Structure 1
Amino acid sequence: MDFQAFPLFILTSCFKLVGAILLVSLLTAIYRLTLHPLSAIPGPKWAAVSNIWLARHVRDGRMLALGKRLHDDFGPVVRVGPNEVWFNSRDAFRLIYNAGSGFGKSDFYVATKLNRPISDWKCWQGLNWPDTLDLLSEFDTRRYRLQRRLIGPVYQTSNVRRFERAVDEVIGRVVAKLRALDGVEVDLKEWMHIVAVECLGAVVLSWSPGYIRDGSDGGTSTQSYLGWKRKSVFGLFPLVTKLSFFSKSLGRWFSNAWGVTFATPRNFKPFFTPVYQKSSKRIAAALRQASTAKAASKDERKDLLADLVQLHRDRPEFTETYLRRLAVTNFGAGHETMCSALTSIMTMIGSHDRVRQRVNDEVRSCVPAPSPISCEDAAQLRYTQASMKEAQRLYPVIGMSLSRKVPAEGFSCHGYYIPPGYTVGCNPISLHRNRDIYGPDADEYRPERWLLELQQRDCTAAAAAAQARDMDRYHLIWGGGARTCPGRHLAEMVLCKVVPALCREFDIEVVARPGDDETKFYFMAMLTGVRARFVPV
């Protein structure tokens, strides 16, 4: 070879390679727009070409704004990616999320996996995941059903209400701390995260992380939310996510390329470290005690971890691996969802004077201070309950589609056929604002829509009852169908006690709140940037 011509050869080869890549990309785009099985489904053209379109919206936190307008622009069926379709209708909800429908979790959930796959780098052939009770991202339906059956009794309403007193004690300390602040403006999300983590600490481990004492969560809610920003982008590129389990450098490169890398602050102290240490120590002691038949030094704490230890003793199929995982999962799954729900509820009540006054009047007249507010008391606060439900409807915990994979027989809805293996789902933000279900004012915060007797002023009793059933049936507040959150009853117990207690003790005033177009929503969705004052009464 003529070495003087070598640079020209390299340059020519590079041009050919770039040209080939551009040609393949162009042909792929044309195919996806014209001949692809989903090409007839309406939606943004760039979304049909590449997942980059949706990923950019996710990265920038625009899921709230997108969820509000997407179906208004394109109708009940929208193609949001080359192989993904979002629906916004009763029919789609019933078909996708009904138990036994055959729709499994989509590959998006690989990004939420807590463990590496066992083996095999051939990611396109599927990965083998360890059985560690990874409830959010468990793909094996039979395994998931067994796990739910095992833990079901521990998380049923009658059992979690045994821990009301522990939550009351936390509420008492929260009220005392907020009173001492005397109406100073606070970050509402941070304080609702403080409440959530302290309640979980008390219920699960009979322990406090010290957040109430410090008046701060040490930035843990902020760091956690940045983690969801990263997971939400990675979930849209499952092949890259799978490969990153075997190549950390690939994961770092992809994260940097998308701008979802975030630094851990100096001296940052995540609460998961003491949670893991304390739960591991107690579990190890309980297992030693069982193996040596010792009766001495028996742990007398009556908390959720004690129930899980007993479940392990009674049901060997609830393995030690399951026990250790679930002890920590109570915090991993609960602290963000509970914080999100509390923040949405307190934001909406505190920013609507009419609603706030009515809630305050109801709570203060029905359950005078200083008596603790029980779940039975809270159930009688019908307007307060309606205001909580309405806030969660408009600002749910999940900001993206709860995506599912179409089963082998395919899926037909609204005149479109979706072949097996493609991804479908409903976005809670869109579904919860569906005017056919929630009325022509579905975008408004109006708690009265949940009160049947008030609905009957505008329509017949039968029509009001039918709408009430629809509103309860077609929502994704705690997940969809057979995959609803197993800890929802624990979360609802905390919500139904905390919200009335705070409204009884304080006038809650929202003094600053970003607009919906500025609010950052990812797969996990939270109202951030809300500033509020808890004014003692």
Structure 2
Amino acid sequence: MSGLYRDGGSIASWVVSLAAVVSFLLFGNIIYNLCFHPLAHVPGPFWARVSGIPSWYHAIRGDRHLWLWRQFHVYGYRIRPEPNTVLFCDPDAYADIYSMKSNVRRAPFFAAFKRVENENTTLTEIDVAKHARKRKLLALSFTDQSVRAASEFVIKHVDRWVQIISQEIGDCTNWSAPKDFTELIDTLVFDIMGDLSFGKSFDIKEPGINPLKVIPHNIAQYLRFYYPICRSPFLHLLLWLKPRGLDKVFDLISPPAVREYNDFVYQSVTDRITLQLRQSEKRQDMFHFLYEARDPDTGQRAYEEDELRAECSLLIMAGSDTASISLSSIFFYLTGDPDRCQKLIQEIRTTFKSVEEIIWGPALQSCNYLRACIDEGMRLTPAVASEHPREVLAGGLSIHGEHYPAGTIVGTVPWASSRNRDVYGDDAEAFRPERWIVDASPGGASKEDIARYKSGFHPFLSGPGGCIGKHLAMMEMSLIVARTLFRLNIRRAPGSTLGGGQPSLGWGASDETQLHIEDAYVSLRHGPIVQFKKRAL
């Protein structure tokens, strides 16, 4: 018995000693982060400068963009929301961080989006040279020629979408039943993406039962699951553990919707590979270019099958979410401002005599108010609300005239930048498309004003990480808005507040005139509830 007591005492003593060591290390880390860290002089909330847990907490809640925005109000143009992170709300800082020659790479944040180690994509690759190579290959799918060709598919789907809405209205001249616009636009954009990426529409916009109608919701669940992992304060440990079995654990614990989405991607790519091999005349959609891409050094296929599946998953998310988020925003603000909505309708209906004339070309691109409404919608609701993080490389980086050492995570916050009053003035939170159009009349925007606005406006990012599909997205949004409003009138359903802020949501989200989003890397949203009516001829 005495041996047992001695062993028990030894264990207890060992536990106490371990606890003391851990406590000492934690306390030492706190003191280091507050007083001796190279970023100790950068302002931010006390607990955020101590630990990454507050930032992670707000990522889990989906309101990290609002938390960051509030910090800029309190501390100024730069903040330290995590011990090793500095974020900015300043156009000059944006240029320093995201320019082509900036001494940075994509942060480890992006690597955490990988399901398995060998599924590197244009999004998840952080090695500078490898990322540049993947972008070059992916760019083959987004040439000017391919965008012009894609416009025919977009028109086909938009016309069918409008036809479905019109059929539900019937012959009456009344307003349609109320619809959640986000639900409607998600189905349209997803079908367009399917046609352009996989050579077939998934037909989720069509009436009736279709098991694939859940996929846009599954994408949202996928992002909700992975985003907190990417924002974890233990990210480096997680990245080390993932190829050592943690990725399999994540697959096991992922929600059913996430597994269903992964199965959908697997089956879609399998079907498209089969079609690719059977076709005598190859359909030159995005998948075709990815499948046929060759490594310039070896002449072998550039993508292994796992990489191809991962890249297609990225195309699905980026191709459907970016445009649909912006369109939800555009129509939220237009239906909340009937006068500006009518002004846009007037421009479209006087520029074109028939819907057949609305194609991607000079006439559509000359619709200045249409482009201004699109830009203003993208400004107020960035597709990515929080930062695109970058890691400073060896040699450091000068941002806004100050040096930041290698290893520092830096970035700007689109949600905060789009509401920067130093750039956009006192009405920064207002939907005012006129700010993008030169107007010599008193109070109108000058060329200098617009140049200042553009310095803070980067909906497709820029530099090495800029969106390859930005011309495709602009074409798609322009055609959807123009061809819809040429044939249909639209209004906010009377009494509806879905999509707008609410006082119960707290600071930064209480304004009912602002589209409220959930930060899950991309901006998740609902609403507005709208009604359609056929145009009176």
Please say whether Structure 1 and Structure 2 have the same fold, judged by a TM-score greater than 0.5. yes
Tell me the secondary structure at the aligned position of residue 383 of structure 2.
Answer: coil
Aligned residue number for residue 316 of structure 2: 331
Q: Distance in 2 between matches of 1:203 and 1:520?
A: 28
2:467 equivalent to 1:467: no
1:28 is displaced (CA, Å) by 1.1
Aligned residue number for residue 264 of structure 1: 257
Aligned residue number for residue 513 of structure 2: none
1:72-83 alignment runs, 5 A limit: 72-83=73-84
2:372 equivalent to 1:386: yes
**Preserved contact between residue 370 and residue 478 of structure 2 (Cα < 8 Å):** no
Q: Distance in 2 between matches of 1:70 and 1:255?
A: 37
1:74 is displaced (CA, Å) by 1.0
1:12 is displaced (CA, Å) by 4.7
1:116-155 alignment runs, 5 A limit: 116=117, 134-155=121-142
Deviations 1:511-537 (A, max 9, x none): 322416263122211323543333333
**Preserved contact between residue 115 and residue 247 of structure 2 (Cα < 8 Å):** no
1:424–1:242 Cα change, 3 Å: same
**Preserved contact between residue 382 and residue 523 of structure 2 (Cα < 8 Å):** yes
**Preserved contact between residue 344 and residue 527 of structure 1 (Cα < 8 Å):** no
Percentage of matched positions with identical amino acids: 21
Q: Distance in 1 between matches of 2:19 and 2:167?
A: 65
1:328–1:417 Cα change, 3 Å: closer
Structure 1 residues not aligned, in runs of 5+:
118-129, 286-296
Q: Distance in 1 between matches of 2:137 and 2:437?
A: 36
Deviations 1:95-143 (A, max 9, x none): 11110212111111111235415xxxxxxxxxxxx7x5x1112222223
1:391 is displaced (CA, Å) by 0.9
**Preserved contact between residue 116 and residue 243 of structure 2 (Cα < 8 Å):** no
Q: Distance in 2 between matches of 1:174 and 1:385?
A: 22
Aligned residue number for residue 453 of structure 1: 439
**Preserved contact between residue 55 and residue 64 of structure 2 (Cα < 8 Å):** no
The range that moved more, 139-148 or 493-502, is: 139-148
**Which residue identity is paired with 2:48?**
A
Give 4+ residue runs of structure 1 displaced > 6 Å after superposition.
253-256, 265-270
**Which residue identity is paired with 2:111?**
V
1:15 is displaced (CA, Å) by 4.0
1:18–1:477 Cα change, 3 Å: same
Aligned residue number for residue 159 of structure 1: 146
Q: Distance in 2 between matches of 1:269 and 1:95?
A: 37
**Which residue identity is paired with 2:341?**
R
Deviations 1:147-200 (A, max 9, x none): 333443541234311122211111111011122333222232222211111112
1:337 is displaced (CA, Å) by 1.8
Aligned residue number for residue 410 of structure 1: 396
1:348 is displaced (CA, Å) by 1.9
Aligned residue number for residue 281 of structure 1: 274
2:184 equivalent to 1:191: yes
2:474 equivalent to 1:481: no
Tell me the secondary structure at the aligned position of residue 42 of structure 1.
Answer: coil
Deviations 1:246-284 (A, max 9, x none): 35458858998xxxx534399889652442123211333
TM-score using structure 2 length: 0.85
TM-score using structure 1 length: 0.85
Aligned residue number for residue 217 of structure 2: 222
Tell me the secondary structure at the aligned position of residue 441 of structure 1.
Answer: coil
**Which residue identity is paired with 1:445?**
F
1:38–1:330 Cα change, 3 Å: same
2:243 equivalent to 1:246: yes
**Preserved contact between residue 265 and residue 312 of structure 2 (Cα < 8 Å):** no
The range that moved more, 268-277 or 236-245, is: 268-277
Within the candidate set 519, 531, 534, 2:532 is matched to 534
Aligned residue number for residue 46 of structure 1: 47
Instruction: Supply the RMSD in Å over aligned alpha carbons.
Output: 3.1
**Which residue identity is paired with 1:245?**
K
**Preserved contact between residue 194 and residue 212 of structure 1 (Cα < 8 Å):** yes
2:407 equivalent to 1:421: yes
**Preserved contact between residue 292 and residue 301 of structure 2 (Cα < 8 Å):** no
Q: Distance in 2 between matches of 1:535 and 1:474?
A: 37
1:318 is displaced (CA, Å) by 6.0
1:340-379 alignment runs, 5 A limit: 340-371=325-356, 373-376=358-361, 377-379=363-365
The range that moved more, 17-26 or 264-273, is: 264-273
1:253–1:330 Cα change, 3 Å: closer
Deviations 1:50-76 (A, max 9, x none): 111101111101034224322121111
Q: Distance in 2 between matches of 1:506 and 1:107?
A: 46
2:216 equivalent to 1:231: no
Structure 2 residues not aligned, in runs of 5+:
170-175, 502-507, 510-515
Aligned residue number for residue 490 of structure 1: 472
Tell me the secondary structure at the aligned position of residue 491 of structure 2.
Answer: strand
Question: Number of residue pairs matched?
Answer: 504
**Which residue identity is paired with 1:232?**
Y
2:307 equivalent to 1:319: no
Aligned residue number for residue 289 of structure 1: none
Within the candidate set 196, 202, 210, 1:209 is matched to 202
1:344 is displaced (CA, Å) by 1.8
Q: Distance in 1 between matches of 2:189 and 2:281?
A: 25
1:159–1:34 Cα change, 3 Å: same
2:383 equivalent to 1:397: yes
1:504 is displaced (CA, Å) by 2.3
1:81-120 alignment runs, 5 A limit: 81-113=82-114, 115-116=116-117
Tell me the secondary structure at the aligned position of residue 426 of structure 2.
Answer: coil
1:405 is displaced (CA, Å) by 1.0
**Which residue identity is paired with 1:74?**
Y
Q: Distance in 2 between matches of 1:244 and 1:359?
A: 53
Aligned residue number for residue 520 of structure 1: 518
1:374 is displaced (CA, Å) by 1.1
